Amino acid sequence: MGVKKKLVYGAAIVVVLAGLGGSYRLWTVLESSRSAVADNNVKLADFKSSDVDAIKRGEYVMRLADCAACHNASFNGGYKIDTPFGALETSNITPDRATGIGNMTERDFFTAVRQGRGEHGFLYPAMPYTAYAKMSDQDMHDLWAYFSTIAPVNHAVDENAGMHFPYNIRLAMLGWNVLFFDSSAYKVETTKDEAWNRGKYIVDGPAHCSVCHTARNALGGEISGAYLQGGNLGSWYAPDITPNPHAGIGDWKAGEIEDYLKTGSNGTSVAAGPMAEAVEHSTQYFNKDDLQAIATYLRSLPPSTTPAQPAFKMDAAREKAAALSYEVNCSACHGLQGEGITGMVPAFAGNRAMQNDPTNMIHAMLMGARAPHTEERQTAAGMPSFAWKMNDQQIADVLNYVRNGWNNQAVEVKAEDVAKMRQAVDAKQKLKTPTQQ
């Protein structure tokens, strides 16, 4: 056989193999036999479970999956989620026939939650079916039982009306799924104990931690090798939660991880933004065993390789002005020595979460923030916005002061970083003193 023929045959084989590989990936995305364990006859609007234990377990699964944070306490949807591809609104998941999921059978429900295919076509991964795919049949049965007890609410939502073209075409998600979606169930690691496996199941499955805490590529797929090492979340930043002592939670003891998830604070850090919502609606309800399992799993992960941040030395005059501004505006809550208020207001001294990506600190300065309200910490402290009171440089100076004070060290926050965030979140500009005419 000649060289040219060999090249032609070789190329043909490559094309065939690529086609087979693509076909297999497409089949794994569309194949829904896992849902066959569920009933496919009775619609949700016509079903109300009488299994009290299953309903109770299902409510707990709902908390693990944090359904209420996005779909609202009544599950009627309408919560806006900003993405790089446009704005989504969460769907109505009450048993209403006309505007909710009342016409779904249990099998339809399984396929929507675990495979991202609903009544209107492919779902967007802002609904974390990419993680829910790991959820067990038992958890799904129980969740279905719980949702059968929810009151139907007639509330129409156009979920993808705010998405930009061509991302508003749901069929495009088929290609995304082929590239990035792993539809396989959770597989027990036989070399690990029960607590470790339970922790990994919750983290990777219902709690969908990687959806926020893993960086994504330009198409919105999670970046391989960046698992739980931090990622952008709109105008917030979900930090590194690997055991890295510089950028992650490597200096958190297991009990501190548990306290943070249960109460919203570990004594130094206090949850804010989307994490405060997660604590308030979800993690505060986790039982002790599950909190311990999560801590066990997270502490077992390989730490990220992000190094310690280099210190930034401010100009002496600006540092003096920033110190005064901190004392006047911040010290009443955060303390003269950056000690904070345990369980209510985050400390600055020794708080590594404050020394890495400054996104959340800039956001809080511009828009204010609120700690979660939990059963164990009833007083949810709030922080006011300083957008009206400080310009971009003044905010940057205060942040540089606290991020490099009390033996902290962090890279410079620049005025342009604040300006960019101010525009992104549509924060007010600093008030100007009226001039006399």
Residue at 305 is within a domain: no
Give me the pLDDT at residue 6, please.
Answer: 47
Give me the pLDDT at residue 343, please.
Answer: 79
329 and 364 within one domain? yes
Is residue 247 predicted with pLDDT exceeding 50?
A: yes
Among 157-171, 206-220, 225-239, 269-283, the range scoring the smallest mean pLDDT is 157-171
In angstroms, how far is CA 123 from the centroid of its own chain?
A: 17
Report field, pTM of the whole predicted structure over 0.75: yes
Give me the pLDDT at residue 161, please.
Answer: 81
Give me the pLDDT at residue 312, please.
Answer: 92
164 and 92 within one domain? yes
Give me the pLDDT at residue 14, please.
Answer: 43
Residue at 394 is within a domain: yes
Domain boundary among 257, 275, 300: 300
CATH code of the domain covering residue 247: 1.10.760
Residue at 307 is within a domain: no
CATH code of the domain covering residue 400: 1.10.760.10
Is residue 345 predicted with pLDDT exceeding 70?
A: yes
Query: Which residue would you say has higher pLDDT here, 80 or 187?
Result: 187
What does the pLDDT average to over 235-252? 91
Give me the pLDDT at residue 287, please.
Answer: 98
Q: What is the pLDDT of residues 9-21, one digit of tens each?
A: 554 544 444 454 5
155 and 39 within one domain? yes
pLDDT band at 350 (very low <50, low <70, confident <90, very high): confident
160 and 232 within one domain? no
Residue at 185 is within a domain: no
294 and 227 within one domain? yes
Give me the pLDDT at residue 79, please.
Answer: 86
Give me the pLDDT at residue 285, please.
Answer: 97
408 and 326 within one domain? yes
Give me the pLDDT at residue 118, please.
Answer: 87
Q: What is the pLDDT of residues 250-272, one digit of tens each?
A: 889 999 999 999 999 998 889 99
Domain boundary among 180, 209, 230: 180
pLDDT band at 106 (very low <50, low <70, confident <90, very high): very high
Residue at 156 is within a domain: yes
| Residue 60 domain boundaries | 24-180
175 and 43 within one domain? yes
176 and 68 within one domain? yes
62 and 86 within one domain? yes
281 and 173 within one domain? no
Two structure tokens written together for 138: 């038992």
Residue at 349 is within a domain: yes
Give me the pLDDT at residue 20, please.
Answer: 44
Residue at 8 is within a domain: no
Domain boundary among 276, 300, 324: 300
Q: What is the pLDDT of residues 122-177, one digit of tens each?
A: 888 889 999 999 999 999 999 999 999 999 999 998 888 888 887 888 888 888 89
Give me the pLDDT at residue 9, please.
Answer: 53
Mean pLDDT of the chain: 90
pLDDT band at 379 (very low <50, low <70, confident <90, very high): confident
336 and 393 within one domain? yes
Among 28-32, 45-49, 196-200, 269-273, the range scoring the smallest mean pLDDT is 28-32
Is residue 121 predicted with pLDDT exceeding 90?
A: no
What does the pLDDT average to over 324-353? 91
Residue at 17 is within a domain: no
Domain count, the chain: 3
349 and 226 within one domain? no
